[in-house]
Amino acid sequence: SAVISQKPSRDICQRGTSLTIQCQVDSQVTMMFWYRQQPGQSLTLIATANQGSEATYESGFVIDKFPISRPNLTFSTLTVSNMSPEDSSIYLCSVEGGNFNYGYTFGSGTRLTVV
C-alpha cells in the first residue's frame, strides 16, 4: 500500500492567517482526498484532488476557503485560508494506494488550532 508523508503534524495559528498542509505519496496515485475531523467528530470529505484538473469540493466547502493544489501524481496541498477558531480540526489526506485491495491509506493528520 502507499505511504503518505503529511506535514506539518500540528500548528497553532492566529485567526485571519492561512496554513498550507502538504501530502507527499511514495507512489503515483490518480486521486487524493482531503478530510476534516472536527474535535470529537468523524471524518468529513472536503474535496477530491485529481492531477491536472480543479479539485471537486463537497457541499459546504468552497475553493476560496480551502484551495487545493495537485501539481503531480505524488503531491498535493490543502490551504486553510483566513482561519477562524471554527477551523480548529485535524486535517487528513488519503489516497487509494493504486490497488484497492489494500484499502485506502491516510496520512498521519495535521492538528490545527486557531487562536
Partner 1 sequence: AQTVTQSQPEMSVQEAETVTLSCTYDTSENNYYLFWYKQPPSRQMILVIRQEAYKQQNATENRFSVNFQKAAKSFSLKISDSQLGDTAMYFCAFMVNTGNQFYFGTGTSLTVIP
Binding region for partner 1 (CB under 8 A)? 31, 33, 41-45, 48, 58, 90, 92, 94, 96, 100, 102-106, 108-109, 111
Best CA proximity match to 91, nearest among 51, 43, 50? 43
24 near 5, Cβ under 8 Å?
Answer: yes
Quick one: 37 exposed, middle or buried, by C-beta within 10 A (0-12, 13-18, 19+)?
middle
Between 15 and 104, name the residue whose CB sits nearer to partner 1: 104
Between 15 and 62, name the residue whose CB sits nearer to partner 1: 62
Between 74 and 94, name the residue whose CB sits nearer to partner 1: 94
